[in-house]
A = this chain, B = another copy of it.
Amino acid sequence: MASPRRIGAPDAKNRTVLLDAAEQLILDQGYAAVTSRKVAEYAGLKPQLVHYYFRSMDELLLEVFRRRAEHGLELQQQLMRTRQPLHALWEFSTDPAGARITMEFIALANHNPAIRAEVALYAERFRDIQIETLEKVLGTADIDPGRFPPGALAVLMTSVSRVVILEQALGVSGGHAEALELVRRELERVEGAPAQNDTSDTPQAT
């Protein structure tokens, strides 16, 4: 029972331009600013084109999330295979743009069922990979898995990076130095001092 309205090709150039514009808009002004008119302005296109390429604004938002999440997931899987996966994971999850946009989508998910389902799906996948990595790495390390199980540490790492980044954006810094130093020290305890580079590209979280 879908709408009879025609929708533009998925690989059309302007469709990608619109997705990029929407993503940038979320970073600059938050999800609430993603209106057809503003997206079009960012993209340098006419507002009506947004509705030509996307059935609704929700669909556009969903597509932005999917694209970014899919990319982030691949990246995270690559990081798992580097020499220092935990250091890589930490660097990955402390990417400010990634954390910011993730928070926007989580806020959005709280009152948008379609977005929520998608965010939940990817969040579980990210977490699974993190836990898998931690299980491998901690097996050889001097960490008691009874006191610090991989699942708990995955949640801890994600939590601290997210909150610290968000607070930094606000200008809040109480306890940050101590928390970051704690993480740094524990990472080093498990994987040794960080090497220069594990991947060629700068990671982006989702």
Q: Is A106 at the interface (CB under 8 A from chain B)?
A: yes
Partner of A106, one of B127, B148, B170, B176: B170
Which residues 145-174 of A sit at the B interface, judged by CB distance below 8 A? 147-152, 154-156, 158-160, 162-164, 166-167, 169-172, 174
Indicate if A141 sits at the interface (CB-CB under 8 A). no
A-side interface residues, number (CB < 8 Å): 53
Q: Please indicate the chain B residues that have their CB under 8 angstroms from the CB of A169 in the complex.
A: 110
Q: From A186, which residue of chain B is reached at the shortest CB distance?
A: B147
Please give me the residue from chain B that is nearest to A161 by CB atom. Answer: B159
Are A154 and B171 closer than 8 Å at their CB atoms?
no
Q: A5-13, A25-33, A37-45, A63-71: which one contacts chain B?
A: A25-33
Whether A163 touches B162, Cβ cut-off 8 Å, given contacts A103-B106, A107-B103, is yes
- Report the Cα distance A206→B33, complex, angstroms: 25
A–B complex contacts, Cβ < 8 Å, 26 sampled:
A30-B108, A30-B110, A30-B111, A31-B107, A103-B103, A103-B110, A106-B170, A110-B169, A110-B170, A116-B170, A119-B170, A124-B174, A127-B172, A127-B175, A148-B182, A150-B178, A151-B178, A151-B179, A152-B181, A152-B182, A154-B174, A155-B160, A155-B164, A155-B175, A156-B156, A159-B164
